[in-house]
Amino acid sequence: MRRIGRLRAVSIHSLVLLAILAVMPGDLFAQASPIGIPENAHSKSYGGGWECNRGYRQVNRTCAVIKLPANAYLTDSSYGQGWECGWGYGEVNESCAAIKVPRNAYLNSSSDGWECDRGYRAIKEACVAIKVPSNAYLNSSGDAWECNRGYREVDRACIAVKVPTNGYFVGSSFGIGWKCNRMFRAVGGTCVAVKVPANGHFVDSSYGLGWKCNRGFRQANEVCVAVNLPRNAHLAYSGNEWACNRPYRKQENSCVMP
């Protein structure tokens, strides 16, 4: 019986305490905050520390209200000014000004500027039509032109490339616009056959004679003559000259012991 009486007493005390808590002002608990958290802030949902409420940003150990200019919106970033300009507006002196899109242009994908329509080029604050010359076309991006095949740019115009006999057209925005076939080389505006001497071979080069002597031979005017090896010598790396074997040293046209 005594045990039952004690249980009843505890239950009565608990009910009284709950009744007192129920009639107390709700804001009494709302005003209570963890130690170290400034006003207009709350504990982080994960990890330790605190963060400012939405509409506030951290300044030292406090949370300052974000001054939101017209045509802007709050961001959830923990750094920076806490706001960005809305679509079609750009930041100017801590405010958001409408972006002036000229004719024949459109807002770019990030809405912080504009780009010209295809066939127009930006010049200062306007979009000017691109004048495509004859025998030319707009490139894939639509902001410039290129000459048709068989033509090359000369003084902002497209001039037909005159390919000489034994030559072929090359698509290039610079140079003469053509190259000579193999075994020919450019001389002025023509392609001249390369005369390769005996013991020589053709070299595809835009300079020089267009040929070189084979290994073991050297150039002498327009022919290739055999390299005469003195005693104790061998062909050098180039294959067109000779060098002395070690420990011999070159002395005029022979190899001598030092």
CA distance 187 to 194: 11
- Do 53 and 92 lie in one domain? The reply is yes
Give tens-digit pLDDT for 215-249. 999 999 999 999 999 999 999 999 999 999 999 99
User: What does 71-111 look like in DSSP terms, one character per residue?
Assistant: TEEE---SSSSSEEE-TTEEEETTEEEE--PPTTEEE-TTS
139 is a domain residue: no
Contact in structure between 74 and 55 (CB atoms under 8 Å): yes
Structural domain boundaries enclosing 108? 99-129
- Do 71 and 87 lie in one domain? The reply is yes
Nearest residue to 182 via CA among 198, 163, 204, 152: 204
25 is a domain residue: no
Contact in structure between 187 and 164 (CB atoms under 8 Å): no
- Do 90 and 112 lie in one domain? The reply is no
69 is a domain residue: yes
Give tens-digit pLDDT for 77-91. 767 788 989 999 988
- Do 104 and 62 lie in one domain? The reply is no
91 is a domain residue: yes
- Do 62 and 106 lie in one domain? The reply is no
Torsion of CA 47, 53, 54, 57, to 10 degrees: -90
pTM of the model: 0.49
Point out the least confidently predicted range of 44-48, 118-122, 213-217.
Answer: 44-48
Overall number of domains in the chain: 2
- Do 90 and 45 lie in one domain? The reply is yes
Nearest residue to 82 via CA among 91, 90, 73: 73
Nearest residue to 242 via CA among 257, 224, 226: 226
Q: Beta strands 145-147 and 254-256: pairing type?
A: unpaired
Residue 221 has a CB neighbour count (10 Å cut-off) of 7
- Owner of token pair 């025998």: 135
115 is a domain residue: yes
Residue 147 has a CB neighbour count (10 Å cut-off) of 22
Give tens-digit pLDDT for 140-181. 989 999 999 889 888 999 999 999 999 999 876 566 788 899
CA distances to 73, 85, 210 from 68, rounded to whole Å, are: 7, 10, 74
Of 97, 116, 145, the residue at which a domain comes to its end is 97
